[in-house]
Amino acid sequence: MKKNILLVAALAIALAAGCSRKPAEQNNGQQKARGPVPVRTAFVERRDISEVLLFTGELESPLAVEVKPKIQGRLEKVELENGQPAAEGAEVKAGEVIAAIDRRELEAQVALAEAQQRQAEVTLADRDRERRRLEALFAEEVATEQARDAAVTAHESAQAALAQAKAQLALAQVNLDETFIRAPMDGVVTERRMDPGAMVGPSAAIVRIAQMNPLRLMLAIPARLLPMLEEGQTRVAVTTDVWRDREMDGVIARVYPEADPATRTVRAEVHLDNEKSNGTWPLRPGMYATAKLTLATSPGAMAVPASAVIRVLNRQLVFTVRDGQAHATDVRTGIRDGAYVEILEGLAAGDEYVVMGQNKLTDGAPIERVAAAEAAE
């Protein structure tokens, strides 16, 4: 039934626009015979209007790492340098010790390597004296060339042995240093996976650390909007399911170079400041968020509700009210914000127009101003 009413109205408007005055007068007479049409009206006002697109997603940490030891051993402790446990929620600084592996075996290896280095140094000193002695004897033609060459070779071997001993000591010291497991970046412990006493190695993470400020929101933006996206400059307004009444300012920090051929969208990375407030982070990874990207703004624009504009073929019409009658008025529209549409031509501020009941009207029909409920019937 509703479709029939809309069709009749559309045809009536189209016919009214192209017919002579006499048929229109006959149509008006028929409308008057049926009585005025109950409608709700309003007056054209100026308002600020913005055309926006909404995107949704989950907040993420732009950088998160799983901290794994570089050596094998028994985990001795999982705590910060201040003695507090490296548990979920603990804040850490880059380079801070967050866990330690039992050092005793590696300390013994360092002591052994130090002793081997000292022995290599003694041997080298002895070989050096022998080399110099035989070189002097060879110069006096007392020692043979073969004896001199053997002493030189023994000296070179002792040098190589010392270099090897130094390398082994350096390696042992590195392994000993690796018993202290340090945070690779500033962040927050989001997950602790190992407890003291566990055997650990390079394949198992002890904790997971994530960056909390800034956080990021990944958006899939239509590729046609690429010309208006500028890294570090384009702003978006973000709300979350937790802070619905708080709009936060975000910036598009990165636009990915490749478009998705299936969706014709490009990925954009929005960064949000997440400074602590009252000792806690206002935003957390995993929160559901909505981003509002403003495409255009028109301050002080003439605007009417989008529902007041009727499309008939290639025309856009608004029913204005003069002398108790509805008049189909052609308009040219601008940007839309969802609820309202900007009127560029066809209406003036203060014009009265039909905001409810317009689908029952024909051009020139008499109207009766009523409340919203009556106009909707």
Contacts of 175 (CB under 8 A, 6+ apart): 71, 106, 109
Which helix H or strand E contains 14, and what residues bound it? helix 2-18
pLDDT in tens, 194-216: 999 999 999 999 999 999 999 99
Which phi and psi angles does 91 have, rounded to 5°? -90, 140
Is 110 part of a structural domain of the chain?
yes
352 with 217, same domain: the answer is no
Contacts of 219 (CB under 8 A, 6+ apart): 55, 57, 236, 267, 268, 269, 270, 291, 293
pLDDT of res. 191: 94
Residue 25 has pLDDT above 80, yes or no: no
pLDDT of res. 276: 86
User: Is the pTM here over 0.75, yes or no?
Assistant: no
131 with 90, same domain: the answer is no
Supply the angle between the helices 145-177 and 104-139 in degrees, to the nearest 10.
160
Final residue in a domain of this structure, among 274, 298, 322: 298
237 with 280, same domain: the answer is yes
206 with 136, same domain: the answer is no
140 with 192, same domain: the answer is no
Residue 173: which CATH number? 1.10.287
- pLDDT mean over 230-234: 93
Is 376 part of a structural domain of the chain?
no
Residue 344: which CATH number? 2.40.420.20
Residue 82: which CATH number? 2.40.50.100
- pLDDT mean over 167-179: 96
- The answer to whether the beta carbons of residues 76 and 101 sit under 8 Å apart is yes
87 with 125, same domain: the answer is no
Is 187 part of a structural domain of the chain?
yes
Supply the angle between the helices 21-34 and 2-18 in degrees, to the nearest 10.
150
303 with 287, same domain: the answer is no
Calculate the average pLDDT of the chain.
89
pLDDT of res. 373: 56
Is 257 part of a structural domain of the chain?
yes
225 with 288, same domain: the answer is yes
Residue 9 has pLDDT above 70, yes or no: no
303 forms beta bridges with 45, 342
d(CA 233, CA 161): 61
Give percent of the chain with pLDDT exceeding 90: 78
Q: Of the candidates 77, 65, 64, 63, which has an alpha carbon nearest to the alpha carbon of residue 181?
A: 77
Is 124 part of a structural domain of the chain?
yes
Residue 170 has pLDDT above 90, yes or no: yes
Helix (H, G, I), strand (E, B) or coil at 237: strand
170 with 110, same domain: the answer is yes
Residue 272: which CATH number? 2.40.30.170
Final residue in a domain of this structure, among 264, 298, 332: 298
85 with 198, same domain: the answer is yes
Range of the domain at 225: 54-59+213-298
Q: If pLDDT is split at 50, 70 and 90, which confidence band does 376 have? A: low
Q: If pLDDT is split at 50, 70 and 90, which confidence band does 35 have? A: confident
Residue 274 has pLDDT above 60, yes or no: yes
Final residue in a domain of this structure, among 298, 328, 349: 298
pLDDT of res. 280: 85
Number of domains in the chain: 4
290 with 364, same domain: the answer is no
- pLDDT mean over 66-83: 94
Is 21 part of a structural domain of the chain?
no
Q: Of the candidates 2, 4, 12, 47, which has an alpha carbon nearest to the alpha carbon of residue 363?
A: 12
Is 80 part of a structural domain of the chain?
yes
137 with 268, same domain: the answer is no
- pLDDT mean over 281-304: 93
Residue 65 has pLDDT above 80, yes or no: yes
- pLDDT mean over 208-231: 93
- pLDDT mean over 310-336: 95
Is 12 part of a structural domain of the chain?
no
- pLDDT mean over 123-138: 94
pLDDT of res. 34: 64
